[in-house]
Amino acid sequence: MKIKDLLSIDLNVDIKNVINIEDISENEIQKEIEDYIVTDGLANDFEQFLDKFTSNAVETGVWISGFYGSGKSYFAKMIGYLLANQNINGTPSRERLLNRFTGIEDEMFFKNKIAKLDRYNNLVVFLDIAKQDTSKGFSYTLFKNFLKSINLPQDEYGYMLFNSMNAAGKTDIFTYVKEVVGKDWTELKGNMFTYFTACKDIHIQSGLSEKEYDQLLASTRSAITEFSPSDLARELKSYVQLKSDTSIIFMFDETSEAINQRKITLLDLEGVSEALNTLGGKVWTIAIAQEKLDDVISNTNISKASLVKVTDRFVEKIHLEATEVDTIIKSRILKKTEEGFSLLNEYYQCNSGKIGDHSNMNGYGISNTSTIESYTSYYPFYENQFSLLQNFLFGTKGYASTKVAARGMIITTFDIVRKLVKEEDLYNTVSGWQIAREANNQPDIRLSSRYNAAEKVLENNAINVDITVRLVPVISEYLCHLFRSNCATIAF
């Protein structure tokens, strides 16, 4: 049996390095939910959001922040799936996500909180604001993505269809088009010519002349160029008045990045915040950013006092820290099959002394593998190797656990297993040189030159390179960690 045979994970399927908040296809949603690991710490973050959302709050803004790799976008997307409760391949997304809370502390407490969402109907609009064309303003960017979420084109024709549909007291474009022109919107919406022809037919049948239709089209285009926060509030109000049981949730990722790129400004956020506040809690704005809101404000030239509506709007702030990376790795990558767990359990009972000796290292805060739980959970690694891996990746364990760790640790662990040890025989373990190889794929160029020079010396002196060369990256990484400020001085 090989190492890969005792792991539950499919090593042929890549772990996504970046979460795309706009990818909401059914298969993608199902895979993201199935891969998501809810830790006790994340459960508390979910609780904070759920308490806010179910509290009949007037201020309906939430600012979710976290450093790159903290899992903020993944967390926010799970929040979106909980709220939308979209049917995913026959099963509601909320039901699928409930299963991810199994096994956490106070499991039923959290599941009961999630069950409260059954009283709400929500339309969730997902967008990456940094990737959007915001040339027509932040308000219209939100509105056109709202149009997309209700299956309308993101242009003037979609805007016109939205208004004519609302005027007829309808909120479902498929039913509306079928009733008015007798055509299937599914077949029309994918082609610009067919949908703008349908748009014209609908308006002509409503009593407009050709000239009046052309005038309406021109005025709609003009309105888009001047689309304001009050226009956004007015149009959304017309929709929620018809669907009084529904709330609209805008969830926009990379907010601080978009501000840094000047695609939007804090004043844009302020204007939208003030306008949407008039809708009585029917429209939520959830901003996802790498920086905390106060830090974003501090980095601008605008006084905090002048942005009081932004801070008041986003009164709920959730900041994620990548502090439970070990739990995620053990549950997602190193989880064993029942047979694998049984084999490792039996092997440890027969060889616990040898395993303890083999995993023994001298160092502050580093101990050998002395329990069966540690051995079976971390295999094919030893638990102490994760402290070393964090040092290789980030320099200090403290930096790793509070800023960037999760994504780097997860991807590196996965790559070590998939690329280097999956075909090794059962009971073999990951070695130091394998950790060093995947932990630093792009070492300092000066260090690489010395590594290559050392390799040539070994070859020229007929030294067994296959064995010795494995020590070079381990030693170089360790010394580079000790003397990180001056790696160029290291020689072999």
What domains can you pick out in the chain, each with its CATH number? 6-320 (3.40.50.300), 325-439 (no CATH), 445-489 (no CATH)
pLDDT of residue 466: 54
pLDDT of residue 483: 41
With b for 16 or more beta-carbon neighbours within 10 A and e for fewer, the 200-215 pattern comes to: bbbbeeeebeeeebee
Higher per-residue pLDDT: 53 or 309:
53
Neighbours of 352 (CB within 10 A): 15
Per-residue pLDDT band at 12 (split at 50, 70, 90)? confident
pLDDT average, residue stretch 58-83: 90
Per-residue pLDDT band at 285 (split at 50, 70, 90)? very high
pLDDT average, residue stretch 447-452: 60
Non-local (6+) Cβ contacts of 302 within 8 A are 266, 267
Per-residue pLDDT band at 482 (split at 50, 70, 90)? very low
Non-local (6+) Cβ contacts of 272 within 8 A are 138, 139, 142, 229, 232, 285
pLDDT in tens, 165-214: 999 999 999 999 999 999 999 999 888 889 989 999 999 998 999 999 99
pLDDT of residue 19: 86
pLDDT of residue 297: 85
Closest listed residue to residue 82, CA positions, set 39, 47, 128, 131: 47
Per-residue pLDDT band at 420 (split at 50, 70, 90)? very high
| Average model confidence (pLDDT) across the chain | 85
pLDDT of residue 114: 93
10 Å CB burial of residue 410 (0-12, 13-18, 19+) is buried
- Structure token pair of residue 316: 């709920």
Higher per-residue pLDDT: 67 or 111:
111
**285: DSSP letter:** E
Strand bridging mode 91-92 / 87-88? antiparallel
pLDDT in tens, 83-99: 999 999 999 999 999 99
pLDDT of residue 386: 78
- Structure token pair of residue 273: 């915040």
Q: Which residues pair with 250 in a beta bridge?
A: 125, 285
d(CA 45, CA 54): 15
Per-residue pLDDT band at 298 (split at 50, 70, 90)? confident
Evaluate if pTM is beyond 0.95: no
Q: Is the pLDDT of residue 153 over 90?
A: yes
Overall residue count recorded for the chain in this entry: 492
Strand bridging mode 61-66 / 283-289? parallel
Q: Percentage of residues in the chain with pLDDT exceeding 70?
A: 84
100-104, 124-128, 289-293, 435-439: range with lowest mean pLDDT: 435-439
Closest listed residue to residue 408, CA positions, set 489, 325, 295: 325
**Helix residue ranges per DSSP H, 226-276:** 229-242, 255-260, 266-276
Phi-psi region of 189 (alpha: psi -120 to 50; beta: other; left: phi over 0): alpha
Q: Is the pLDDT of residue 295 over 80?
A: yes
Is 319 within 8 Å of 98 (Cβ atoms)? Answer: no
pLDDT of residue 433: 80
Q: Is the pLDDT of residue 326 over 90?
A: no
Highest mean pLDDT among 12-16, 161-165, 404-408, 488-492: 161-165
d(CA 487, CA 481): 9
Q: Is the pLDDT of residue 308 over 70?
A: yes
Q: Is the pLDDT of residue 486 over 50?
A: no
For the chain, the first-to-last Cα distance in angstroms comes to 39
- The torsion defined by the Cα of 189, 192, 196 and 198, in degrees rounded to 10, comes to -40
pLDDT in tens, 357-410: 998 876 666 778 999 999 999 999 998 887 777 666 655 444 444 444 556 788
